[in-house]
Amino acid sequence: MPGQPSATAEPVLEIPERLVARYTPLSPLEAVTKQFIAERRWQRRAPSFRIADPERALSVYARMSPEEFDAINARQRWASWRTIPRAISGRLPLRPLVAIDLGAGTGQSTEVLACFLPPGSTILALEGAEPLVRAARRRQYRHHAFGGGRPARVLFRCQNIVDDWRWPDGAPVAPGSVDLVNATGVIGHHLRPDDAARVLAHAVCALQPGGIAAVDPGPAVPAKLLVRLAEAAGLTFEAHVKSNPLDRWGQCVFRKPGGAGDAGNR
Ligand SMILES: C[S@@+](CC[C@H](N)C(=O)[O-])C[C@H]1O[C@@H](n2cnc3c(N)ncnc32)[C@H](O)[C@@H]1O
């Protein structure tokens, strides 16, 4: 339920709907056209990236130049500027947070997280295609919504998200150390259901009680199956947010039970 952050005594990160689309860098028409043209070009010379198999999907993404990726990802980028703020609004405390962005690509979803998370937050961007990680490092990440444009702390690691999550120095992400796990355009699109179950198990472990996972369903892991897998992993379903009424996938929002806001804990 929105308005139920991990610690009731703390103020809540509220993102008013008027702020949701304010920072979007492209129009819907631009996004659709860019993606359509770029995908047609890609299909003429390389295998499809629309694959639910982590290793094969990563090998295709690793062949893209950052410019090709950004054009192909344009629709996803437009959607992320809407689903991510809607997924986190009212669900997290207003204090520096630790977030992980799964399958961060060139950092377009990470940029959205940086924009809306409170200043002082740390974001770990995990991405399996090395050329995209290099491009993500070059992007600027700023706390526009609540930090007056201050630079955000973003760390990057090239890894398959199905494997155990690690920080750039190789240290494992400690159990219960993360407030938010975000995934856009990756779990439901590029993982098989058993891979998705492993990723959700990592999320449950990494999240602190009361923490949030905002995860994309997709053709490979539709929303009903995603909710089943997440609940089996120990998460509680809270909402399914969409970028617009025609959005087929959006993000499902889950909470790890046991936060200070849980009635059972009081
Ligand atoms: C559609 S893009 C989405 C990028 C970004 N999340 C966004 O919303 O702009 C999917 C990304 O997930 C990455 N990816 C796919 N499977 C992965 C895996 N198993 N481990 C790490 N990254 C993965 C791809 O390389 C690609 O960059």
Under the banding of pLDDT at 50, 70 and 90, the label for residue 46 is: confident
pLDDT at 241: 98
Amino acid 91 reads R
Does a structural domain hold residue 124? yes
- Answer whether 73 contacts ligand 1 (Cβ < 6 A): yes
Does a structural domain hold residue 11? no
Which three-class secondary structure string do you get for 152-166?
Answer: CEEEEEECCCCCCCE
Nearest CA to ligand 1 atom 26: 105
CB neighbours (10 Å) of residue 162? 19
Does a structural domain hold residue 14? no
| Res. 2: pLDDT tops 60 | no
- Answer whether 61 contacts ligand 1 (Cβ < 6 A): yes
Condensed to tens digits (0 to 9), the pLDDT of residues 184-230 reads 999 999 999 999 999 999 999 999 999 999 999 999 999 999 999 99
Question: What average pLDDT does this structure show over 62-79?
Answer: 94
Which CATH number goes with the domain that contains 215?
3.40.50.150
How many percent of the chain have pLDDT more than 90?
84
Question: What average pLDDT does this structure show over 24-39?
Answer: 90
How many Cα atoms occupy the beta-carbon half-sphere of 125 within 13 Å? 29
- Answer whether 77 contacts ligand 1 (Cβ < 6 A): yes
Does a structural domain hold residue 6? no
Cα 112 from Cα 14, distance rounded (Å): 15
Under the banding of pLDDT at 50, 70 and 90, the label for residue 262 is: low
pLDDT at 24: 85
126 CA distance to ligand 1 middle (Å):
9
pLDDT at 38: 87
Tokens 């959205």, located at residue? 112
45 CA distance to ligand 1 middle (Å):
21
Q: How many angstroms separate the Cα of 158 from the Cα of each of 10, 103, 105, 221?
A: 34, 9, 10, 23
| Res. 258: pLDDT tops 50 | yes
- Number of domains making up the chain: 1
134 CA distance to ligand 1 middle (Å):
14
C-beta of residue 226 within 8 angstroms of C-beta of residue 187: yes
Nearest atom within ligand 1 for CA of residue 80? 8
DSSP labels, 159-198: --TTSPPB-TTSPBPPTT-EEEEEESSSHHHH--HHHHHH
Under the banding of pLDDT at 50, 70 and 90, the label for residue 8 is: low
Under the banding of pLDDT at 50, 70 and 90, the label for residue 120 is: very high
- Answer whether 109 contacts ligand 1 (Cβ < 6 A): yes
Does a structural domain hold residue 160? yes
Does a structural domain hold residue 9? no
- Answer whether 104 contacts ligand 1 (Cβ < 6 A): yes
Cα 130 from Cα 161, distance rounded (Å): 13
pLDDT at 7: 46
- Answer whether 103 contacts ligand 1 (Cβ < 6 A): yes
Does a structural domain hold residue 178? yes
Token reading at 257: 């039970």
Does a structural domain hold residue 235? yes
Across the chain, mean pLDDT equals: 93
Nearest CA to ligand 1 atom 18: 160
- Answer whether 76 contacts ligand 1 (Cβ < 6 A): yes
| Res. 4: pLDDT tops 80 | no
| Res. 44: pLDDT tops 90 | no
Condensed to tens digits (0 to 9), the pLDDT of residues 135-157 reads 999 999 999 999 999 999 999 99
Q: Whole-model pTM above 0.85?
A: yes
- Answer whether 161 contacts ligand 1 (Cβ < 6 A): yes
132 CA distance to ligand 1 middle (Å):
9
Look up the domain containing 141 and give its range.
26-258
Strands (E), the chain: 98-102, 122-127, 142-143, 150-151, 153-158, 178-183, 207-215, 236-241, 251-255
Token reading at 246: 């025609």
Query: Is 216 or 259 the better-scoring residue by pLDDT?
Result: 216
Nearest atom within ligand 1 for CA of residue 108? 9
- Answer whether 218 contacts ligand 1 (Cβ < 6 A): no
| Res. 266: pLDDT tops 60 | no
